[in-house]
Amino acid sequence: MIHEVTWIGAAVKALIALLLVSAVAGFGTYIERKVLAWMQRRPGPAHVGPFGLLQLAADGIKLFTKEDFIPQFSNRLIFSIAPVITAGTAFIALAAVPLFPDFTFPSWIPLLGGVFVPSIASDVNIGILFILAAMAAGLYGPLLAGMSQQNKWGIIGAARTAVQFLSYEVVTGLSLLAPIMLVSSLSLVDFNNYQAGGIGSWMLWQQPLAFILFLIAGFAETNRTPFDLLEHEAEIVSGFVTEYSGLRWGLFFVGEYANMITIGVLASVVFCGGYSDLWLIPGWLMMGLKVSFFFFLMLWVRASWPHIRPDQLMWLSWKVLMPLAVVNVVITGIVMMAMA
């Protein structure tokens, strides 16, 4: 059954994605604090609301009511725009990401009755490319933020942004190239469908190296430990966010969490079977579970592993990961030719 995607459906999907991801990003902070706490033998937030759940609301209120502070000698315009770029690009990338299966509003709902909501807001045929491009554009957020604030830690943070993001773009792209070659499509829906045959058909088993490389690069792209050198507080105070506070700082935060979800979704869809049903578990739940796992993985790693140095980061990218990715692509190509 093929449904026509109306603009209302796309808008509803976008709205749902936006709200959901924002909410999840917020909730993510709570989860992160809890998980880190447990892994460090602490209870974590516990006083605001049951199990500290309303800590989220408290933080939100704090962020919203904090003084909006712009340093005297900063470039006010760019300083103000930079967080919007980060958050904006993170959400734009989500436009081509399938968050849950298609559905149609039941007809008894006024106005929206019968509207078809697609799994992807915009199933562009270059989905992966679009996502990668949008995330790459996200580089401008930290870069401009760091450079506009007239703060030496900000400048160092910005420099690290440029170096780190550009380097790991390459690894991300190359690691995804092999699965793309196998699926022969850039649409994520096609990826999903390619792996519809149960766990055995997951891309993970065909491209284990690509999966690992993608995950590593994904950590770097989202600025997570052990690659959070952009705002490494032990070295450069807070890097590109040194001078930010309140809501502007919150936007960076939301952007980072949105990117984490994007990476989680990508990893799920490209390598782990996407939103197809598995046994009795419905597809949307599978998707949720998989994304949650990757999210959890990021926190887990943060709790377990130390930072690496910038030079180690570069060494890893250009001398280890990139060659391995190239080798992987070449081998995949040879195997495909042999199979054909």
Residues that bind another protein (CB under 8 A): 35, 37-43, 46, 300-301, 303-305, 319-320
Each as own residue / partner, the long-range contacts of residues 319-323 (CB below 8 Å, 24 or more positions apart, any chain) are 321/171, 321/175, 321/213, 321/216, 321/217, 322/170, 322/171, 322/174
Burial level of 48, CB count in 10 A (0-12/13-18/19+)?
middle
Minimum Å gap between C-beta 39 and another protein is 4
Distance in angstroms (rounded) separating the CA atoms of residues 262 and 259? 5
Of residues 55 and 195, the one with the C-beta less far from another protein: 55
Minimum Å gap between C-beta 326 and another protein is 15
Minimum Å gap between C-beta 51 and another protein is 12
Are 4 and 116 in contact by the 8 Å Cβ rule? The answer is: yes
Of residues 14 and 37, the one with the C-beta less far from another protein: 37
**Residues 6 or more apart from 20 whose CB is under 8 A from it?**
99
Of residues 37 and 181, the one with the C-beta less far from another protein: 37
Of residues 129 and 301, the one with the C-beta less far from another protein: 301
Minimum Å gap between C-beta 181 and another protein is 25
Buried b (16+ CB within 10 A) or exposed e, 210-245: bbbbbbbbbbbbbbbbbbbbbbbeeebbbbbbbbbe
Of residues 58 and 129, the one with the C-beta less far from another protein: 58
Minimum Å gap between C-beta 321 and another protein is 11
Q: Count Cα neighbours of 158 within 13 Å in the Cβ-side half-sphere.
A: 19
Minimum Å gap between C-beta 24 and another protein is 21
Of residues 120 and 216, the one with the C-beta less far from another protein: 216
Residue where the block lists tokens 């315009």: 77
| Residues paired with residue 281 on neighbouring β-strands, in sequence order | 278
Residue where the block lists tokens 């040879």: 334
